[in-house]
Chains A and B, each alone.
Chain A
Amino acid sequence: MTTPPDDELWSAIGDPSRRQVLDLLVSHGEVSASWLAGRVPFSRQAVSKHLVVLERSGLISRRKEGREVLYLVEADRLDQATRAMTEVAAQWDRRLATIKRLAEAAHAENKRTTPS
């Protein structure tokens, strides 16, 4: 077993709505909560909640500019998250490859012992 992705990251990016918020931050840089709320199919309150979770996980940070609060991604932490994701995907690929090998061997064995 390789090191599993850490829990906070995992649950922060595990939610599709949050990933949508994260997506927008990745592609648009520093933006405000209201800007985000105008681009997602959920409420301003939901956006705020997602921002809190993302900030707690270290994936984003905030900065005050005048009266506005702007959010931005923390690229290093996000990089860590995506590496974790890539690793999980690779683990499933390895498991699928083993399943394939086992099933194909079992099938060959069945054919050998019960010729039709």
Chain B
Amino acid sequence: MPSLMIDREVLIAAPVDVVWRTITEPDQISQWFADKVELVVEPGAHGYLGFGDQGGPVVVETVDPPTRFSFRWNHPRGEEPVTGNSMLVEFTLTPEDAERTRLRVTETGHELRAWPDEEKQRYADEHQEGWGDFLDRLDTLIKKR
């Protein structure tokens, strides 16, 4: 896997289909994400996410129940999210067993997706440490001043 910008995960004590509904049903999304959710969960569907008096368009990319769901947004700008101006949020659901699901979320910048696979792999190999190590080194750099 390439080293990504945001890459977090959580283990949930619920079956994969329950987790899938929680992350894809608009009335559920409004409980963990935006205040206002207008979204049809279909690839290519255009929707809207509202955060208080802010908000912006969202475009669904991948819907592969019950394991993959992704969308593109460019919060806080109100432009139409397309490759090149937006962030891609990808959820991956992995059943650990009948009662437990690992949920991973990644949020990546615009050009990573466009890279050929071998280039991604090379980047991943060279950047095993990822963002965390970068932060550590940066921290050291700042402390040195």
- Footprint of B on A, CB under 8 Å? 1, 4, 7, 10-11, 13-17, 19-20, 23, 26-27, 41, 73, 75, 78-79, 82, 85-86, 88-89, 92-93, 95-100, 102-104, 106-107, 110
Chain A residues within an 8 Å CB radius of B2: 16
Contact of B109 among A11, A89, A104, A106 (CB under 8 A): A11
Write out, one digit per residue, whether chain B residues 90-109 have a CB within 8 A of any chain A CB (1) or not (0). 00000000010101010111
When chains A and B are docked, how far (Å) is the Cα of A106 from the Cα of B22?
A: 9
Chain A residues within an 8 Å CB radius of B142: 75, 78-79
When chains A and B are docked, how far (Å) is the Cα of A36 from the Cα of B109?
A: 22
Chain A residues within an 8 Å CB radius of B67: none
Chain B residues within an 8 Å CB radius of A96: 8-10, 103, 105
Tell me the number of A-to-B contacts counted with CB atoms below 8 Å.
119
Chain B residues within an 8 Å CB radius of A102: 22, 28, 31-32
Dominant secondary structure of chain B at its interface with chain A: mixed
Inter-subunit contact A99/B12 (CB<8 Å): yes
When chains A and B are docked, how far (Å) is the Cα of A10 from the Cα of B8?
A: 18
* Given known A82-B138, A102-B32, contact A7–B77 (CB-CB < 8 A): yes
11 sampled A-B residue pairs with Cβ under 8 A: A14-B109, A14-B110, A23-B137, A78-B138, A86-B135, A88-B107, A93-B8, A96-B8, A100-B12, A103-B14, A107-B15
When chains A and B are docked, how far (Å) is the Cα of A100 from the Cα of B31?
A: 12
Dominant secondary structure of chain A at its interface with chain B: helix
When chains A and B are docked, how far (Å) is the Cα of A89 from the Cα of B9?
A: 11
Contact of A26 among B15, B75, B138 (CB under 8 A): B138
Contact of A16 among B9, B15, B107, B111 (CB under 8 A): B111
CB distance from A52 to the nearest CB of B (A): 15
Contact of A99 among B23, B87, B115 (CB under 8 A): B23
Write out, one digit per residue, whether chain B residues 71-94 have a CB within 8 A of any chain A CB (1) or not (0). 000011100000000010000000
- Other 16 A-B pairs with CB < 8 A, given A16-B3, A99-B23: A7-B76, A13-B5, A14-B87, A16-B115, A26-B138, A75-B141, A82-B134, A85-B135, A88-B6, A88-B107, A97-B10, A99-B19, A99-B32, A102-B31, A103-B12, A103-B101
